[in-house]
Structure 1
């Protein structure tokens, strides 16, 4: 996925109120950007870090700039949690995610479960539907080890239960973790941060829910999923 227009470089001053970030641009101007990330962003919101912003021409937007990337530990990290669904769709279409090939149709944001929407629904005439929930990963506290989640996610726990229900009904159910950084080798789950999520994943996995993780290659020009890493599913 290429960005629609070149990103603007800046220096992070502070991230606050979860969805706001003050950024200093190269000419010294200070602006407030939208931060599309509800998580804790551990290690990714330090004042002085280099960041990259996209800019919208929509006059109805309150904030023209959106925070897209940050540089942490000499690695470019994608922090915009609105990007992963489109990135996964692209990776399915181009064959990168081999486990999700062979379906006739792909639909986004389809209603299912208990008043929820599945991120991606794959279907084909000769096979069961495949429900794919996508989660963004960007935490790395130990060298080469990705972790999820970086904060308590009751919504994520709910999604695991609903995927387990789909598996029980005979459908295929997949939790796909899209990792927006390229400096690790495997994914573990931070049960010390959210024990309920880790327990729910163990239960969902026993019920037939698959867990996949794909890493992205990132530059200030583009993001693309390109390689798979092992997933350490927690035991009950």
Structure 2
């Protein structure tokens, strides 16, 4: 996926999870952060960030903060990007006969439902932006919803679905994502339970630029 109009700026602060203060051409400006996670390892005062111009000129925040530069590499932090690039990938590779986003299952909406040769598939997508020593970790903040989705996927296996959780790695050079046990032990527990139930774990590696993100390949957690 490509952004329409990207402008670099310097990050100043983040008063709340929705808003960041940035320096844009010498002026302090409030912008919308397209990620409600903590991102505290990324959004450091003085770092370079990338802004997308909002399509609505009347909006109070004229830009969306979608990416940040760290150690010379760009990390996409747009929480809407993972689903968008996975949809592109699924349709481009023509692996499935049917790809349907936002599928109602149990008490949740699972990101993707697919069909192929009479088989039914469910896939939940998670974006990963927290990297430590070459490993990705999810989540970077507690998420009851994340654990719930994993348990829905585990339940779907018993009903005949092929289920998978897919981590979209929103930075280059990372090939594995692990549950962030210290931050969210409940998610880590649900992750282990899902694997035991037969849920597959996928890692989508990505090519990142200041104005876009695309999936470069797909790897699997080895049992």
Q: TM-score, normalised by structure 2?
A: 0.93
C-alpha separation in 1, matches of 2:70 and 2:95: 37
Q: Secondary structure at the match of 2:175?
A: strand
CA-to-aligned-CA distance 1:78-137 (integer Å, 9 cap, x gap):
111011101101111222xxxxx63211111122211x211111124x322211110010
List gaps (5 residues or longer) in structure 1: 96-100
- The separation in 2 between residues aligned to 1:60 and 1:113, in whole angstroms, is 39
Q: Distance in 2 between matches of 1:18 and 1:56?
A: 18
Which of 178, 182, 205 does residue 172 from structure 2 map onto?
Answer: 182
Distance apart, 1:43 and its partner CA:
1.1
SS in 1 for 2:17: coil
C-alpha distance 71-103 of structure 1, shift in aligned 2 (>3 A): same
* Alignment correspondent of 1:14: 13
- Compared CA separation, residues 20 and 231, structure 1 to 2 (3 A): farther
Partner Cα distance (1:223, 1:118) in 2: 22
CA distance in 1, matches of 2:204, 2:132: 18
Match of 1:196 among 177, 186, 190: 186
Q: Which residue of 2 aligns with 1:113?
A: 106
Is 1:52 the counterpart of 2:56? The answer is no
Aligned residues: 223
Contact 2:128 2:177 in 1 (8 A): no
d(CA) in 2 for partners of 1:146, 1:2: 23
Aligned to 2:2: 2
The CA deviation string for residues 41-86 of structure 1, in whole angstroms up to 9 with x for no partner, is 1311101110001012314533221111100122100111011101
Structure 2, unaligned stretches of length 5 or more? none
Structure 2 residue aligned with 1:91: 89
**RMSD of aligned C-alpha atoms?**
1.7
Q: Give per-residue Cα distances to partners, 1:10-59, cap 9 Å, x unaligned.
A: 0001123111111111x212211111212121311101110001012314
Alpha-carbon deviation of 1:168? 1.2
Provide the rounded CA distance (Å) in 2 between the counterparts of 1:232 and 1:172: 17
Q: Which residue of 1 aligns with 2:209?
A: 219
Match of 1:98 in 2: none
